[in-house]
Amino acid sequence: METTLVLIKPSGVQRAICGAVISRFEQKGLIIEGMKMMQLDEKILREHYAHLVDRPFFPSLIESMTVTPVIALALRGVNAVNVVREMTGSTNARKAAPGTIRGDFGMSGQENILHASDSIESAEKELARFFKPEELFNYTPITFPAIYASDDLNA
Ligand code: UDP
Ligand code: MG
Structure confidence at residue 3 as a pLDDT band (50, 70, 90) = very high
Residue partners of 123: CB distance under 8 A and separation at least 6 = 2, 3, 4, 5, 80, 81, 117
142 CB-contact burial (10 Å; exposed 0-12 / middle 13-18 / buried 19+): exposed
Query: For residue range 56-98, what is the model confidence (pLDDT) as tens digits?
Result: 999 999 999 999 999 999 999 999 999 999 999 999 999 999 9
Per-residue burial over 87-98, b if 16 or more Cβ lie within 10 Å, else e, is bbbeeebeebee
* Atom 19, ligand 1: residue with shortest CA distance: 91
Count the alpha carbons within 13 Å of 37 in the hemisphere toward its beta carbon.
6
Q: Which of 125, 127, 112, 121 is nearest to 21 (CA)?
A: 112
Q: pLDDT at residue 112 above 80?
A: yes
Q: Which of 32, 46, 19 is nearest to 113 (CA)?
A: 19
Q: What's residue 139's pLDDT?
A: 97
CB of 112 within 6 A of ligand 1: the answer is: yes
With beta carbons less than 8 A apart as the criterion, state whether 129 and 45 touch: no
Query: For residue range 12-26, what is the model confidence (pLDDT) as tens digits?
Result: 999 999 999 999 999
Q: Catalytic: 48?
A: no
> pTM of the predicted model, to two decimals?
0.97
E strands within the chain? 2-8, 31-38, 70-77, 114-116
Q: What's residue 154's pLDDT?
A: 84
Q: Which of 62, 71, 58 is nearest to 43 (CA)?
A: 62
CB of 48 within 6 A of ligand 1: the answer is: no
d(CA 71, CA 140): 22
With beta carbons less than 8 A apart as the criterion, state whether 29 and 145 touch: no
Q: pLDDT at residue 155 above 90?
A: no
Pocket test for ligand 1, best of 54, 94, 110 (most atoms within 8 A of CB): 110
Average pLDDT of the chain?
97
* Atom 2, ligand 1: residue with shortest CA distance: 110
